[in-house]
Structure 1
């Protein structure tokens, strides 16, 4: 197993762990990106609105897998959610995440 396999294998296992624990997918892309395609049954809150809508996420009472287009915004979202006592992980880009599901 190479270094990249180790890193990305750990990421996949973490996403699987969250899914097995009833996690909700939180898509933090813009409305335009969301309208162009998204994971079925995911929740849409753009990253720019997350601070003002944190109560909505808390009311889900579930761990969160954040996703976006590439994984950059979802990493920021996951960090923000964790700082607000919400169990969250970065699922990366939504297209790749969809393949893992």
Structure 2
């Protein structure tokens, strides 16, 4: 019985890991979206943002995103989100999609930006 629980746990963690990787956009796609006028949102904290950020990115920390959706007016516009590692930006992507934003790309971390 313990081995089945352990196997289930391993499969569950693997699924989460693969899902996170699949939702992260590649650099070429991110670059193309930026060239086509996408909105770039840094979802890290204000202090992380002030230490350095992608040029032209607006800062809306992921925890503040639900109450600041009005800053992202056009729900049809391409939106790129990034953070430090990709975890918070994945959460931001899910929040945006749940609120009707149709084109959201998780770029991963700041180091993944082109």
Does structure 1 residue 51 correspond to structure 2 residue 88?
A: no
TM-score (normalizing by structure 1): 0.77
- In our comparison, the structure showing a higher alpha carbon Rg is 2
Structure 2 spans left out of the alignment, 5+ residues: 1-21
What RMSD over aligned residues (CA atoms) do the two structures have, in Å? 2.0
Higher mean alpha-carbon deviation, 19-28 vs 42-51, is at 19-28
Does structure 1 residue 91 correspond to structure 2 residue 107?
A: yes
Does structure 1 residue 42 correspond to structure 2 residue 57?
A: yes
2:89 aligned partner: 74
Runs of at least 4 residues off by over 6 Å: none
| CA deviation string 1:18-51 (max 9, x = no partner) | 2243211100000110111001111100011000
TM-score (normalizing by structure 2): 0.69
Tell me the distance in 1 between the aligned counterparts of 2:67 and 2:51: 24
Contact 2:27/2:112 (8 A) holds in 1: no
Does structure 1 residue 64 correspond to structure 2 residue 79?
A: yes
